[in-house]
Amino acid sequence: MAADTVELASADNDLVASRLSQAGYNVKMGSDAVVVFTPDGESQVARLIDIAATPIRNVHVHRPTLDDVFLHFTGRQIRDEHAERTLPMAMRARARHR
């Protein structure tokens, strides 16, 4: 969960994945891009593109959020419905103390 993800899309994602994997990167094939797991993804983008050695048409860097960590460990997403249920209770509690 500490790694950023860098998605690289090219005309030949299989070739890009192979080259990055051979260079020692943790790589996964996404639906339309190669996903690379690396610390500090922003600083790695230029190196990843150099290693890919093929025109890259799209790059997206994603840093894990608290929502990502929660989903990873629980298998569920954080939803606002819990907050919506507790908010009226909190408002009622404050009203009673006035």
Instruction: Give the span between the Cα atoms of 41 and 27, in whole angstroms.
Output: 13
CATH code of 92's domain = 3.30.70
Query: Per the structure block, which two tokens stand in for 63?
Result: 């840093």
**Domain count across the chain:** 1
Does residue 79 sit in helix, strand or coil? coil
pLDDT of 51-62, one tens digit each?
999 999 999 999
pLDDT of 59-89, one tens digit each?
999 987 777 566 666 777 777 555 555 555 5
Nearest to 29 by CA among 61, 5, 51, 65: 5
Domain region containing 14: 4-96
Rg (CA), the chain: 20
User: Whole-model pTM?
Assistant: 0.69
